[in-house]
Amino acid sequence: MIRIVLLGPPGSGKGTQASALEKRRGVPHIASGDLLRANVRDSTALGRKVKPYMDRGELVPDELILDMMADRLSQPDAQQGYVLDGFPRTVKQAEALEERLRALSQDLDAVVYLKVPEAEILRRLGGRRTCPHCNAVYHVDTMPPKREGICDKCGATLVQRDDEKPAVIRKRLEVYSAQTQPLLDYYQARGLLREIDGMIGVDNVIREIETIVAAAQAAV
Ligand code: AP5
């Protein structure tokens, strides 16, 4: 069982690593962005409310996120652990998660920060392709699918996300610095923050995360 949060700027590899951990450890990869995009795609009441924020590269208001995540975290598959990707993203969200964990007498194993420089983020997001059906993530140069434009896992046609326009990427980076970076101090103060160089390759990053989780669990 593991319970971890992946933190990092847009394009740092949170989704890629969370999906690998889901496969290796059998705990769900819970991505707030994927949940929001599914709501937008299905045109739910939540989806209609959040779309304008996402299109502008701004954060969705905390209240909407907190309700959605409380619902997801209470599902049966999340009771034995999870990998959180994209949540929490503000101090208010981190406090809500902490309160929930306290009420359930649970702890996070670690908060893993993937550090990646801005130039690399722009390169990665420029070449990213995503499966709209199963959320698998590729890169046209460094992680291409076996058949161009087709998802290896489910055969759907890969797409570029709506928030991958250069102006929206710039906005998402600004929002990350202003609203999410403060979480590094928040989790550092709680002794949970572990930093990984996100430039060392996908397989090396996953090995480092596994080492961090093993050390955290051995220390309990
Ligand atoms: P969200 O979907 O969470 O996007 P994000 O955090 O901006 O992160 P990304 O999904 O863009 O990147 P990633 O770090 O997962 O990288 P990936 O693995 O894909 O959020 C989208 C929007 O939803 C927000 O703007 C906001 O509006 C809203 N939202 C979501 N959560 C919210 C919340 N909690 N509160 C409020 N609003 C919220 O990798 C990127 C690329 O790099 C891929 O092509 C991949 O193949 C490649 N790559 C990955 N790792 C490596 C590596 N080690 N080396 C080389 N290439 C790599």
87-104: pLDDT as tens digits: 999 999 999 999 999 999
The pLDDT-based confidence of 165 (bands split at 50, 70, 90) is confident
Distance 13 CA to ligand 1 centre (A): 7
The pLDDT-based confidence of 41 (bands split at 50, 70, 90) is very high
Task: Tell me how far apart the alpha carbons of residues 84 and 32 are, in angstroms, rounded to a whole number.
Answer: 8
Which is catalytic among the residues 3, 124, 128, 129? 128
> Could you tell which of 37, 41, 137 is best to mutate to test the pocket of ligand 1, judged by most ligand atoms within 8 Å of the CB?
137
- Residue in the block written with tokens 């291409």: 144
Task: Confirm whether 34 is domain-assigned.
Answer: yes
* 207 a catalytic residue: no
63: containing domain: 2-118+166-218
List pocket residues of ligand 1, CB cut-off 6 Å: 8, 10-16, 32-33, 36, 53-54, 57-60, 65, 86-87, 89, 93, 124, 128, 137-139, 142-143, 163, 172, 198, 201-202, 205
Q: Given the DSSP bridges, would you call strands 137-139 and 110-115 parallel, antiparallel or unpaired?
A: unpaired
- pLDDT at residue 2, as a whole number: 93
**φ and ψ of 30, to 5 deg:** -110, 110
The pLDDT-based confidence of 219 (bands split at 50, 70, 90) is confident
- Residue in the block written with tokens 């924020």: 53
Task: Confirm whether 147 is domain-assigned.
Answer: no
- pLDDT at residue 122, as a whole number: 93
DSSP 176: I
- Residue in the block written with tokens 């392709």: 129
Q: Per-residue pLDDT averaged across 165-170, rounded? A: 92
Number of structural domains, the chain? 1
pLDDT of 162 above 90 = no
Q: pLDDT tens, 8-19?
A: 999 999 999 999
Task: Confirm whether 212 is domain-assigned.
Answer: yes
Atom of ligand 1 minimally distant from the CA of 161? 11
Q: Per-residue pLDDT averaged across 23-42, rounded? A: 96
Task: Confirm whether 73 is domain-assigned.
Answer: yes
- pLDDT at residue 32, as a whole number: 98
* 72 a catalytic residue: no
Instruction: Give the residue whose CA is nearest to atom 39 of ligand 1.
Output: 13
Distance 10 CA to ligand 1 centre (A): 4
- pLDDT at residue 217, as a whole number: 86
CB of 208 closer than 8 Å to CB of 13: no
pLDDT of 1 above 90 = no
Task: Tell me how far apart the alpha carbons of residues 82 and 1 are, in angstroms, rounded to a whole number.
Answer: 8
The pLDDT-based confidence of 179 (bands split at 50, 70, 90) is very high
Query: In the numeric block, which tokens belong to residue 157?
Result: 């046609």
Q: Report the CATH number at residue 46.
A: 3.40.50.300
Q: What is the mean pLDDT of the chain?
A: 96
Task: Confirm whether 138 is domain-assigned.
Answer: no
Q: pLDDT tens, 95-151?
A: 999 999 999 999 999 999 999 999 999 999 999 999 999 999 999 999 999 999 999
Nearest to 142 by CA among 154, 157, 129: 129
* 161 a catalytic residue: yes
CA end-to-end distance (rounded Å), the chain: 13
pLDDT more than 90, % of the chain: 95
Which is catalytic among the residues 14, 37, 72, 124? 14
- pLDDT at residue 115, as a whole number: 97
pLDDT more than 70, % of the chain: 100
Task: Confirm whether 133 is domain-assigned.
Answer: no
Task: Confirm whether 114 is domain-assigned.
Answer: yes
Task: Confirm whether 128 is domain-assigned.
Answer: no
CB of 7 closer than 8 Å to CB of 180: yes
